[in-house]
Structure formats: C-alpha cells, structure tokens
Amino acid sequence: MRKFLAYFLTFWALAVVAVVGVAGLRGSTSRKPPLEFFSDMDHQPKLRPQTTAKFAGFADGMSSRLPVPGTVARGSAFEASEFNTGKKADGSFVDAMPVPVNAALVARGRERFAIYCAPCHGAAGDGNGVTTKFGMAAVAKFHDERIIKMGDGEIYNTIANGKNLMLPYGDKLDPQDRWAVVAYVRALQLSRLGKKEEIPDAVRATLK
C-alpha cells in the first residue's frame, strides 16, 4: 500500500510538473495566437471591418469597402454648401461661420482641438506642440496676424483639406466638428486680443 502510494504520488507529481512545464502559467507572454478549446462559431464567414476578405469579388482583399464611385453615403457631406466647403458659390472663402456659435460648440471645439490640433499647434495655439520637439517644422501659430485676419471659411478649408505640409483632417473631423474647431481657434485668439471690459462682470470678479 505504502509502496503503491509512493509510486502513484511520484507519478502524479511528475505529471503535474510536465503539464505546467508544457502549458506554462497564466498570463505568460506568447507570440502565438490565443488557444481555442471549443471554437464553435467564434469565426464566422461574415466580414468584420478592416480584415482580410477571402472573397473573389474583392480583388484587393479588403473587407472594408470604399464607396462605389458616384454614390453618396447617407449623412455624408456631399453638397457644395457653405457649411460643407467653407466657400461661397463664387469659390471664395466665407468670412463668418455658417453655424450658430454657442458655448456647446466651443466646448466641442476645445475637446476636438485637444485631440487633433494641439499635438502640433500646442494647447494655446502657439505652434509649439509636442511634435515640434521631434522635428515638425513650420507649424502655424494661430495668434499670427495672418490667421487672425483669415476668414472662417479658409481655416475650415485648411482643417478639411490640409495646407502646405499639413495633411487633411477631414477624415477625422466632420463638417460640424470642423466649425467647432474654427470657433475654438477664434476663442483662443480672442483670449489674447480681448479687452478686460469685454469680460462679463461676474466672470471678471473671479479672475486675479
């Protein structure tokens, strides 16, 4: 009995060591994809976005398709309106933004500005964002006279389509958000141009 138990426990201990040795511990780093013990329906033939399409009809193998030429997606900004292009019918830039400016728009603009603009242009629009330390050159300063005097539509157009070395941000900011960012850029400029008397009394009292 004792002998048998000794053999058995030795065998058992070896088996445990072997399993842990081969399988490893939870959370150990692995280059191999996750194990699947019962992968029923984990992988369905449907296409998920940004994956490879093993479907002969899609020659480029992309599951996310570009719009068919000449078609317009619902809600997309296709009309050549001032709201969508920042330009008047004659092609010149609009001077004032065609959306009502309120606190909500500026707040939205501030949030989007922090995400998409501040990395280069800086949180205050001084053109000294973090990327300039890494070699981004000639980043526009929003407090330059040139940009202060620029029409709202031209700033909108720069956001949407890029300018000089700056690539377009139209894919990240839809028209409403672009106008929101324009509104926030104007707010940044006003923060240096405004006069003390223009601050509402109640707010001025809280400032040092």
Partner 1 sequence: MSDIFPKWTNKLPLMAGVVGAVLGVSVLAGITYYFTPKYTRVGYQPKQPVAFSHAIHAGQIGLDCRYCHNGVEKAWFSNIPAAATCMNCHSQVKKDSDKLQLVRDSFASGQSIPWVQIHKTPDYVYFNHSVHVNRGVSCVHCHGEIQKMDEVRHEKPLSMSFCLDCHRDPAAFVRPNELVTKLDWKNEGFDGKKAVHDWKVQPGQSCSTCHR
| Binding of partner 1 by 14 (CB under 8 A) | no
Residue 163, classed as helix, strand or coil, is strand
Build a one-symbol-per-residue string for 145-174: x at contacts with partner 1 by CB under 8 A, - elsewhere.
--------------------xxx-x-xx--
Quote the distance between the C-alpha of residue 117 and its chain's center: 10
Provide the minimum distance between the beta carbon of 83 and partner 1 in the complex, in angstroms, as a whole number: 19
Q: Which of 12, 18, 76, 163 binds partner 1 (CB under 8 A)?
A: 12
For 49, phi and psi rounded to 5 degrees?
Answer: -60, 145
| Binding of partner 1 by 10 (CB under 8 A) | no
Q: Which stretch binds partner 1 (CB under 8 A): 80-88, 109-117, 150-158, 197-205?
A: 109-117
Q: Can you read off the two tokens belonging to residue 144?
A: 């330059």
Q: Can you read off the two tokens belonging to residue 111?
A: 């949030």
Q: Which of 6, 10, 18, 51 binds partner 1 (CB under 8 A)?
A: 51
- Burial of 84 per CB tally in 10 Å (0-12, 13-18, 19+): middle
Q: Which of 17, 19, 96, 199 binds partner 1 (CB under 8 A)?
A: 19
Q: What is the 3-state secondary structure (H, E, C) of 36-96?
A: CCCCCCCCCCCCCCCCECCCCCCCCCECCCCCCCCCCCCCCCCCCCHHHHCECCCCCECCC
Q: Which is nearer to partner 1, 4 or 74 (CB)?
A: 4
Provide the minimum distance between the beta carbon of 168 and partner 1 in the complex, in angstroms, as a whole number: 8
> 116-123, long-range: CB within 8 Å, 24+ apart, which pairs?
116/169, 116/172, 116/173, 116/181, 117/181, 120/166
| Binding of partner 1 by 48 (CB under 8 A) | yes
| Binding of partner 1 by 104 (CB under 8 A) | no
Q: Applying CB under 8 A, which residues contact partner 1? A: 1, 4-5, 8-9, 12, 15-16, 19, 23, 26-37, 41-44, 46, 48-51, 60, 62, 111, 114-116, 119-120, 130-131, 134-137, 165-167, 169, 171-172
